[in-house]
Structure 1
């Protein structure tokens, strides 16, 4: 049923809960796991004047690479083949495009249950991904939700 499962992650506790589910599903279906972290290019404009946008991007990229490698190691420990990627852009755009470009059958991602006016006005990466994805999206609440 599933051959390629995408797990977008930012290294947060909620995303970590989704990783457990994605690895379990990949194990059950002998599926390849695609581990993606997005360097949000919108974050570059909010840096302090003393820090160049290139420095900010490099720091964010290094953190993202560390996160995807950590997830890939967890997958390998479970006997799951993992492909890692770090991509720049707007997170929900990149997730939707990556899933389509790599023929992923399922996206598994965390949600932190944002509420109130902020959620209404801004939405979340997960909500926008669910609305736009052409494949099923399994959302997983974090342990603190």
Structure 2
């Protein structure tokens, strides 16, 4: 019934709550769990604020270490992208380890999360998407949007959602 299950994760409590369900489904149906992390650009000059990049002393040929202009911005963006992708790889590899003997496939991609998830489903012939929810409601959900909600509304395959531990 389910040969390939997609488990998108961002490492949040909501996503973690769905991990046990991913393992149970994989064991029940002898399925492969595809663990996907999507690195999303949040600002023109970087990603999530929890990523710390130590800035260098400027461009080559700039003895004062002053502002390197657009080249410095691009270099900083590249460093941030590399750090986020590194952290994403650590996350998906950690999830794969915690899934134990379950067959897994891990991947880190950049882009808009719900779009990347839907593209991945099409590319890999996914049978089921299993996602955690963050539990936002009301104005927070409206303002921030919900990746899970967008996937549920637009996916061509079944989507199983698992509530986070603190949700009512």
TM-score by length of 2: 0.78
Note if contact 2:46-2:80 (Cα within 8 Å) is conserved in structure 1: no
Please state which structure has a larger fraction of its residues in helix. Answer: 1
Secondary structure of 2:42's aligned partner: helix
Please tell me whether Structure 1 or Structure 2 has the larger radius of gyration of its CA atoms.
2
Match for 1:54 among 47, 70, 78? 78
Partner deviation per Cα, 1:121-141 (whole Å, 9 max, x = no partner): 442000011111110111111
Gaps of 5+ in 2: 50-54, 56-72
Matches within 5 A, 1:7-18: 7-18=7-18
- Count of residues in Structure 1 that have an aligned counterpart in Structure 2: 143
Runs of 4+ in 1 over 3 A off after TM superposition: 42-48
Alignment RMSD: 1.9
Give the 3 Å change call, closer, same or farther, for CA 3–90 of structure 1 in structure 2. same
1:13-58 Cα distance to aligned partner (Å, 9 max, x none): 111111111111011000011000001123554568x571112211
Higher strand share: 1
